[in-house]
Amino acid sequence: MEVKIGVQHAPREIVLESGQSAEEVEQAVADALAGKSTLLSLVDDHGRKVLVPADRLAYVELGEPTVRKVGFSAL
């Protein structure tokens, strides 16, 4: 699933492909905004961890889960 994170005072958003479910990402964002954790921590498809300070979050956009297609076909 594609996740876009807007950070305050940063000119570009952070975009990552995450293997986490929408519910897991939503819970992590809710915990960060509620003050249960000081960092929003997400893991991308390559195993890299993305950490964003919770007080700097502007927005988080969750994309549709994508299913990888195999093979060749006409669009």
Domain boundaries, the chain: 2-62
Q: What is the pLDDT of residue 29?
A: 93
Closest CA to 32 of 41, 20, 19: 41
pLDDT single digits (tens) 18-61 = 988 889 999 999 999 998 989 999 999 889 999 999 999 999 99
CA–CA dist 56, 17 (Å, integer): 21
Structure confidence at residue 75 as a pLDDT band (50, 70, 90): low
Q: What is the pLDDT of residue 72?
A: 72
Q: What is the pLDDT of residue 1?
A: 87
Longest dimension (CA), the chain: 49
Neighbours of 60 (CB within 10 A): 21
2-62: what fold?
A: SH3 type barrels. (2.30.30)
> Does the pLDDT of residue 8 top 90, yes or no?
yes
